[in-house]
Amino acid sequence: MMKWKNIKLQGCLLAVLVLGVAGGANAALVVDRGLPDSNLNNAAGSDRSNVAWGFNGDFLAGDDFSLGALNPGQSAWQIDQLTLWTIGSESTLGDRFDSLTLFLGADNGSSTPAAAKANLTGNDTDNSDVQVSKVEYPGTSFDYQGSGGGSLNIWQIDFFNLGLFDEGEYLFALAGAGEAITFNHASNAALSGTPQDGADGSYRWFSGNALDLGITAGGSIDSAGNGWDKSSDINIQVHATQVPEPSIVGLMSLGLLGFFVARRRSTRITR
């Protein structure tokens, strides 16, 4: 009986190990279009790189990104972390919004579904997979400066464990529930000073709000001459891993199981 318990325990450890290999404990930064670190705020003059976009009513600003081709033997991308930024004058994000919703889905003409939701109390959430933190621009002590010259807070929202996705193009938008407008941070790629993966000089607009189960993409906007003097893209970072095909996972399991069996036989012989 004790030997059978040991075998079952080793089987459980094997399953955890295989899932760890399949899911990938070390997610890679596969989309790096983060906050700018150069040409910030009004001091940069006509070279200002940072901006933010939002709409009144049931409309949202968002954008798109691409998950690249999968390697041979891999079945899907697993998005382990997706990061966005929003701005506002309140001392906490919970003073601005009652809740947050991330909309995320394939750019295929269908509705973009809600992928994660969280209620807010201050900068805390009721969802362990959604974290909010106040940040400054990378390598600086700068907050966001509004068009009127006032300083506004930058909040970073990290969404974890978003699930499996195919390679291809995806749409996203961040929405806060409440009376305030959701301003998604954006920047001009050429002036940002940081990698701007997938920047194409335009962002997307959607119809819908934070309480919807899905929003509808309406098209693209080039901010040059449409609210600003240059083009921009919504900032986003995506950490992801590639998940092996089930057959690959099975072969790995068999190989590791064979190792455990051989180890037990070797232990018996030496006793």
Q: What is the pLDDT of residue 25?
A: 54
- Domain boundaries of the chain, sorted by first residue: 27-245
Q: Calculate the CA 75 to chain-centre distance.
A: 20
Three-class SS state of 108: coil
Across 84-93, 110-119, 129-138, 261-270, least confident range: 261-270
Q: What is the pLDDT of residue 258?
A: 52
pLDDT tens-place string over residues 98-130 = 999 999 999 999 999 999 999 999 999 999 999
pLDDT tens-place string over residues 191-203 = 999 999 999 999 9
pLDDT tens-place string over residues 173-195 = 999 999 899 999 999 999 999 99
pTM (2 d.p.): 0.84
Q: How far apart are CA 38 and CA 40, in angstroms?
A: 5
What is the pLDDT averaged over residues 224-231? 97
Q: Is the pLDDT of residue 139 over 50?
A: yes
Distances 175 to 66, 205, 264 between C-alpha atoms, Å: 21, 12, 55
